[in-house]
Amino acid sequence: MTGPPVKRTFAAATLDYLGARYVGAGPETCNYTTQAIQIPMRDGIELAADLYEPEIPVGQTPAGLILIQCCYGRGAGISFINARVFAARGFQALFVSTRGTYGSGGTFDPGSNEQSDSQDIVGWMRQQPWYHGSFATLGASYLGYSQWALLRDPPADCVAAVIPVAPHDQAWHTWGTGSFRLDRASWSDMMSKRDDEKGSFLSRLANIPGLSFLRSPELERAVASLPLEDSLQKYFGDRAPWLFEYLKHPDVDDVYWTSRQHQVALDRAKIPILLISGWYDTFTTQTMHQFKHLNDRGVNVSLIVGPWTHVQGSGLHSVPEILDFLAEHLTKTGKYKHPQARIFVTGSQEWRSMPTWPPSTQSKNFYLQANKRLGLKQPEQDASPTSFIFDPLAPTPSIGGNQMSAGGRVDDSAYADRPDVLVFTSETLFEDIEVLGIPSVHFIHTSDPPFADLFLRISEVDAYGVSHNITELYQALDPSRDTSQPLVLDLQDCAHRFRAGTRVRLIVAGGCFPMYARSLGTAEDRVRSDKAVPQTHTVTVSGGVSKLILPVNIAA
């Protein structure tokens, strides 16, 4: 069933105007109408959608059609950045609610139906009188994941894609570190409590991912209790059944994840793609992987990375670039004005244009010292090892970083005061050091018992002794690893200039809670056991066997 087109109201136009000023979209070129639509799927269910049509002179065609698939509703908060800002500039936008959400039929099972449903949507679009033969896709986070699902089998008439802060592989995010990512619980809590479209503007705005991820005290208690799965089951009851499937399938190669992994889309996509991320986004690692894979294949892929969290990187700061990108590849009337990689360098606080990412660099070694220092000279062969104890019943807290909420660049000086954290800090730098790319840590590390995790972070200490985070890594360790050999761990990409007068800091801990399910120190399943054993971590520093390797800009 399809409703009649509805003209934009004065209130909506006012919100559009204010929103456009905030995101730097430039002046509107037209008014638009919105039409409620039901889209039939191959299994008989129907998806609810809104069709945004620009009001343009007779005989003219729209600037192009944009397809958006969204599980967070179609209300004012989410539709502005995904549809209305474009409709007011001459684009058609088909804004579709994901199966099982916000008026769409069927059952919501995250990631399992996007591949087939997106193909059905495209097939249906081709039969409509308003379809002009080509389209682009757009949307951040889960909306971007839906684009990767479509690109597993790329439609010939899909000519461009804009994919901010989005995963292509749900298994990677959920279990890729070897530990369960606990934002899957808070996201599931939000999705299982979603309101219908009749809610207030503010309640619909809260459905934007990242704005409603703050946990309730009840969920905080559930996540902190053992066994984790039992505690979550008591909290959720029959809500969010997919969450418990996640918990049952920790192996990322399990067949359960096959329909939720779209690496093949990176092998098949040929269209121009604009990727947008933030250094503190939840999915930065996947976005950088997407860029490298597509770029290595010769795909026309562009990358923007800002000093942003998940919400900030979702397009709020990139609308002018998105409009330029669509003008070149969808409308064919404009030009994307930036080079292949547009990167924000923290520390120097400047945007940098690059032909690719990462640029050529040279390695600079900082050696871990017995006195908890980082030094450019190797320590003596008889330097004593250093250690700490991680207690899963009093886990090391998550402070800023790549969390879904409460993340970003923060003061993380508190880590230096904790007995369960090793903090290695360099002397004051006498010259700038610009790091571009993937830092790595090579060190001889043991844990007793061998069932343990590592959290690594690089931070900068300013002239006042205050530390701020730059990049990080979490990894559950293989208990059967050869501990006589260096453990090599690559951190997340970063672009940061350590100014003269600052210091480099390496933080080493055994947990990051509640960002990740903590190691319990036993061979038992971490989500099903209630037995917790403290773990003693020891790092050998003698002879320079343990070091932080920074990729330093050779042109700086």
pLDDT above 60: residue 196? no
So what's the pLDDT on residue 213? 39
HEC string for 370-396: CCCEEECCCCCCCCCCEEEEECCCCCC
Quick one: tokens of 345?
């360098």
Q: What is the mean pLDDT of residues 180-202?
A: 76
Q: Assess whether pLDDT exceeds 80 at residue 209.
A: no
Give residue-wise pLDDT tens across range 416-464: 999 999 999 999 999 999 999 999 999 999 999 999 999 999 999 999 9
Q: How far is CA 315 from CA 25, 206, 320, in A?
A: 11, 17, 10
Structure confidence at residue 216 (pLDDT): 82
Which residue in this structure is represented by tokens 């990767």? 148
Q: Give the tens place of pLDDT for each residue, 141-157.
A: 999 999 999 999 999 99
Which pLDDT value is given to residue 554? 82
SS3 of the chain: helix, strand, coil, percent, to 5: 25, 30, 45
What local confidence, expressed as pLDDT, does residue 140 receive? 97
- pLDDT at residue number 203: 44
340: burial class by Cβ within 10 Å (0-12, 13-18, 19+)? middle
pLDDT at 69 over 80: yes
Integer Cα distance of 48 and 227 in angstroms: 39
- pLDDT over 60 (residue 285): yes
Q: Is the pLDDT of residue 205 over 80?
A: no
Other Cβ atoms less than 10 A from the Cβ of 144: the count is 29
Phi then psi dihedrals of residue 24, to 5 deg: 70, 35
What does each C-alpha distance from 135 to 91, 220, 252, 443, 536 come to in angstroms? Answer: 10, 43, 33, 50, 56
| pLDDT the model gives residue 77 | 85
Of all helices (H) and strands (E), which one includes residue 295? helix 284-296
Average confidence score pLDDT of the chain = 94
> How many whole angstroms from its chain centre is CA 282?
3
Q: Give the three-state DSSP class for 254.
A: coil
Question: What domains, with CATH codes, occur in the chain?
Answer: 6-344 (3.40.50.1820), 361-553 (2.60.120.260)
Does position 305 have pLDDT exceeding 60, yes or no?
yes
Question: Cis before residue 355, ω within 30 degrees of 0?
Answer: no
> Which element (helix H / strand E) includes 471?
strand 467-476
- Looking at residue 413, what is its pLDDT? 98
Give the pLDDT band of residue 206 (cuts 50, 70, 90).
Answer: very low
- Please state, for a pLDDT cut of 90, what percent of the chain lies above it: 90
Please tell me the pTM assigned to this model.
0.95
User: Residue 3 CB: number of other CB atoms within 10 A?
Assistant: 12
Task: Say if residue 212's pLDDT is above 80.
Answer: no
CB atoms within 10 A of CB 285: 22
Distance CA 546, CA 541 (A): 5
Strand 440-448 to strand 487-490: parallel, antiparallel, or no bridges (unpaired)?
A: antiparallel
Taking the C-alpha atoms of residue 18 and residue 52, their distance in angstroms, rounded to an integer, is 19
N-to-C CA span, the chain: 61
- Residue where the block lists tokens 């986004």: 281
- pLDDT at residue number 404: 85
Q: Are the C-beta atoms of residues 462 and 524 closer than 8 Å to each other?
A: no
| Helix ranges restricted to H, 135-257 | 142-150, 170-175, 183-192, 201-205, 217-224, 228-236, 241-248
What's the mean pLDDT in 9-35? 95
Segment 229-274, tens digit of pLDDT: 999 999 999 999 999 999 999 999 999 999 999 999 999 999 999 9
- Distance (Å, rounded) from C-alpha 444 to C-alpha 545? 7
Amino acid identity of residue 221, one-letter, is R
Give yes or no for residue 18 having a pLDDT over 50.
Answer: yes
